Chains A and B, each alone.
Chain A
């Protein structure tokens, strides 16, 4: 597991380097509305763009502004610096307005040869689902055609089933951190999940199986409270470590880089692979960019609290992230109404200088909720 966690902390990890050395193609995407299955089916490695706590934004600030979220700026910074030059293409998604701006500036200032825009609706009506199904098909076929790859239905089903097997393993691992005596920390879990969107699915499946076997007998000692962590794009394992260093163990999460990606289940009865993907990635999405899905998001967090016997919830959003910032306000109100303690945190992405303030807030919250200390 240690090696996997080390690989999770670098952008171009050893798995990607090996894939590229063997002549493999890598396409970058940025959010959970781009299903990795459609790229894997075409023999292309999908790589989810991340910033891994990078706090430098000086190049990005000349394109985006100080009023854009620092996660988008941190990612763009890496793109403009060349950290992502191993990508053979970019697939834009409209995860949020600021991600759109990030992609437009990336392509404007540091273009890649292949660029495709995969558009996801913000509502989950049957008409929206139909549209998104068409978008997935168009994205997959365009990608395959550009890189001269075949895209067959059996290959797509293979990729879908492989990803579902991976999600099952991720859920299993997730269950191990929710045990009475958790087997791994929230930071470890986040690292392992992050790695899954930055390496080949077949290798990742083997890795997860191995990590689960290794973790059977592990126990995380010395925590004061069990917490659920929710909120905006958080690929900063350091931030989760900060929470855990002061005694709060993240036993479940509702993060876009975390459990929101693997807890929704595939509808195995669906006979059409494109519809199956659309159903999974749009209709079951737990992202607050879906403007008609608040009840489902609330129910999801309430269920996590109950199932993991959490003592409280921390909801975090990056400064200038409207969709999470506003959603968190209402989630906090509703969760408190049913007696769940909630801490909301607004933070700068990758802002190590801000960690002192965050640590104090978390410590105060832990004292407030008591936990089992």
Chain B
């Protein structure tokens, strides 16, 4: 292995996770804090969000899971498997079910780089800029692809492009990467058509994708292989809805960072033992906190309309908890998994098609109307989880959400009397808007709009008396 091979995201994150795996959940707070100082300052600061006392068990479980996931992908070729790069909007279970393949998700790798590496993922972004790509492409995929295209990272054997119909930027950059790396691209388009015709078309595309993968991998996708993965996926789905319900009490026992852990698990090892273990740990932690009845006061329940910010996890998730602001979920958590009938190959494939059809981004931006589908989902979640407000992250590259967020804002106000804050900042890079500015805008909005708005009771208004930044009990 050459030195340059060590400078890609996968290797660097892999080494970081190896270090983190030495931290045990039974260490004291002081010991954990001391060990985190072994990490580079930015990494230690951001990743500390996983080591707050109330989330540490789940945080460690999650990071260990990702360590296994990445080493499996890197070792895929040696194990006779093909690593297949997938975007976040494609359920990994299909690829996992093949004996000869292993899924690795572009945006999860980018998030790990943004959150965990010194300097975030910006050096890999610069690689893409150096190729002459425009600066309005999406950092969520371009950071990892920059690492791959630099030649300093491991290379997948093929790419599944699942965003056509739901995101041009994602589809186009994966097409670019497949042409640049000269590896096959398997496209599964989401028809922007909610009618039965559109659904039938998606089924046709999905079956064609399976045929293409079978041919590429030289392997038949049998019912047994699918059942092995989907039985675990069904267990994950049960735990997903348990966790969903645990969001409903006020104060809510689900820590803010679980939003990220939930999405990260869904996009990586859903359907694997490690994924089940991570989901179980989150539910266990949340239930224990609920039973303890010593939850800190929460002044506002915040639903994120699309993505959150990932370049400083402590600066967002932990900071919000410190302010008494609950990060309910973001749109990446809205996988809405349903139990899959595992009785036959056909029923399982139908279940996977359902899951993919209703996946985050596919379901909203890949529908007949981007604004209407998004509005319906946001209103449902906001009401079910009793959100006080909605925050749109304003990620630079999300042209589709940027183009209809004004309709979402207007309709949330009109139909559900919920105010929306429209932020602007790259979700994976601090260079557009630093976390301090995001904190300030969020705080101003909640204090001046949410907490004094007509939805709030007099009792809630009294909570304003607590000074911003005052410590909260955990």
* A binding-site residues for B, Cβ under 8 Å: 62-65, 67-69, 72, 94, 96-98, 100-102, 104-105, 108, 117, 119, 121-123, 125, 127-128, 131, 134, 288-289, 291-292, 294, 317, 319-320, 322-323, 325-327, 329-330, 332-333, 344, 346
In the complex, what's the smallest C-beta–C-beta distance from A338 to chain B, in angstroms? Answer: 16
Residue among B161, B173, B403 making CB contact with A65, cutoff 8 Å? B403
CA distance A68 to B396 in the complex (A): 9
20 residue pairs of the A-B complex, CB under 8 angstroms, read: A65-B402, A67-B398, A69-B399, A72-B403, A98-B399, A100-B400, A101-B400, A122-B165, A122-B189, A123-B187, A123-B189, A125-B208, A127-B205, A322-B169, A322-B397, A326-B173, A330-B176, A330-B180, A344-B132, A346-B134
In the complex, what's the smallest C-beta–C-beta distance from A33 to chain B, in angstroms? Answer: 12
Contact A123 B164 (CB under 8 A): yes
Q: Is B2 an interface residue (CB 8 A)?
A: no
CA distance A62 to B368 in the complex (A): 23
**Among A63, A72, A291, A344, residue most surrounded by chain B Cβ atoms (within 10 Å):** A291
In the complex, what's the smallest C-beta–C-beta distance from A294 to chain B, in angstroms? Answer: 6
In the complex, what's the smallest C-beta–C-beta distance from A116 to chain B, in angstroms? Answer: 11
CA distance A247 to B35 in the complex (A): 66
Interface contact tally, CB-CB below 8 A: 140
**Provided the pairs A119-B191, A322-B168, A329-B132 are in contact, do residues A104 and B370 lie with their beta carbons within 8 angstroms?**
yes
Residue among B180, B189, B398 making CB contact with A128, cutoff 8 Å? B189
Contact A101 B172 (CB under 8 A): no
**Provided the pairs A97-B167, A122-B165, A127-B201 are in contact, do residues A325 and B136 lie with their beta carbons within 8 angstroms?**
yes
Q: Is B343 an interface residue (CB 8 A)?
A: no
Contact flags B162-191 to A (C-beta < 8 A → 1, else 0): 001101110111011001100001010101
CA distance A104 to B405 in the complex (A): 11
Determine the chain B residues whose CB is within 8 A of the CB of A333 once the complex forms: 132
**Provided the pairs A63-B406, A294-B175 are in contact, do residues A122 and B368 lie with their beta carbons within 8 angstroms?**
no
Q: Is B238 an interface residue (CB 8 A)?
A: no
Contact A329 B176 (CB under 8 A): yes
Residue among B138, B168, B179, B204 making CB contact with A323, cutoff 8 Å? B168
CA distance A231 to B187 in the complex (A): 24
**Provided the pairs A122-B165, A326-B137 are in contact, do residues A105 and B404 lie with their beta carbons within 8 angstroms?**
yes
Q: Is B79 an interface residue (CB 8 A)?
A: no
Q: Is B377 an interface residue (CB 8 A)?
A: no
**Provided the pairs A63-B406, A329-B131 are in contact, do residues A68 and B399 lie with their beta carbons within 8 angstroms?**
yes
Contact A117 B136 (CB under 8 A): no
Determine the chain B residues whose CB is within 8 A of the CB of A108 once the complex forms: 371, 407
Residue among A101, A119, A123, A292 making CB contact with B370, cutoff 8 Å? A101
13 further contact pairs, Cβ within 8 A, besides A63-B406, A98-B399, A122-B189: A65-B403, A67-B394, A68-B402, A96-B168, A97-B167, A98-B400, A101-B402, A117-B192, A125-B208, A131-B191, A291-B171, A322-B168, A332-B132
CA distance A98 to B167 in the complex (A): 10
Contact A67 B365 (CB under 8 A): no
CA distance A320 to B399 in the complex (A): 8
Residue among A62, A101, A288, A289 making CB contact with B403, cutoff 8 Å? A101
Contact A100 B370 (CB under 8 A): yes
Determine the chain B residues whose CB is within 8 A of the CB of A96 once the complex forms: 168
CA distance A178 to B312 in the complex (A): 56
CA distance A98 to B405 in the complex (A): 12
Contact flags B141-176 to A (C-beta < 8 A → 1, else 0): 000000000000000000001001101110111011
Q: Is B457 an interface residue (CB 8 A)?
A: no
Contact A64 B191 (CB under 8 A): no
Contact A322 B187 (CB under 8 A): no
Q: Is B222 an interface residue (CB 8 A)?
A: no
Determine the chain A residues whose CB is within 8 A of the CB of B137 once the complex forms: 322, 325-326
